[in-house]
Amino acid sequence: MTDPVTAWRRLAGSTVLLDGFHALKHAVRFGAEVPVAVTADRAATLALADELATDVRDTLAGLLTEVPHETYASFVPRPHPTAVAALAVRPSRESNLEKLAHTPRTAPVVVLDNPRNLGNAGAVIRLAAGFGATGVVTTGTVDPWHPTVVRGGAGLHFATAVERLEVSGLPPGPLFALDPEGDDIRAMKLPDDAVLSFGSERTGLSPELRARADHLLSLPMRPQVSSYNLATSVAMTLYHWSCGAA
């Protein structure tokens, strides 16, 4: 067996950090290739798998190596309460782009236009995976595979297609952009091939994306309330789509 410390040091710069039990559980559940996984308490981790992830319990048992807590802690930016960490192979960009571009689609693509908060981006990816969205695309400088985003997404990057693109390279389909000045979303039926776009938490939609949008839509909001959290806005929009409401 390869020493986990040696393997970790060799792979850390070219793989995806799975930070915590739930990130590892989801990654394995959705087919990620995991070359190394460690825990500071193997018995406790497998007990957690018995409770929460019986479908992948045996796979986890074959992957996990117990290491001292100090070794585990040296692998992660800040220790997770479950004391589990792993490295996974990132899906190929070509494969993700093919999934995003494939038509006809049965579920929308979510676009985060120049997001600024890594935790928000992770929460959106978790939502998109839960709703079965085709994928999540970010524009701008934030890397959607940053470890903090993956932690916020609980490893569900592997359940949907996640990539960073220019506005000019967004997937095909009618582009619906959320904007306070748009039409009330409750009067609009969102098609399965929709591209649902959400602006930056601070500055809203970029001029480039706004100019490309086919429709501007707004979420219902009580007067004098400034805004919703980004993940909340995405959740409301995906829920509206999933209901087939018009």
Q: In this structure, are strands 84-88 and 109-112 parallel, antiparallel, or unpaired?
A: unpaired
Instruction: Please report how many Cα atoms fall inside a 13 Å half-sphere around the Cα of residue 168, on the Cβ side.
Output: 0
Can the peptide bond before residue 104 be classed as cis, meaning omega within 30 degrees of 0? yes
Decide if pLDDT at 163 tops 90: yes
3-class SS of residue 88: strand
Mean pLDDT of 82-98: 97
Among candidate residues 217, 213, 211, the one with its CA nearest the CA of residue 178: 217
How far from 244 is each of 81, 101, 163, 218, CA to CA, in Å?
Answer: 39, 23, 27, 17
pLDDT for residue 103: 93
pLDDT digits (tens, 9 = 90+) for 40-65: 999 999 999 999 999 999 999 999 99
pLDDT for residue 246: 52
pLDDT digits (tens, 9 = 90+) for 121-148: 999 999 999 999 999 999 999 999 999 9
Decide if pLDDT at 201 tops 80: no
Whole-number Å distance between alpha carbons of 23 and 30: 11
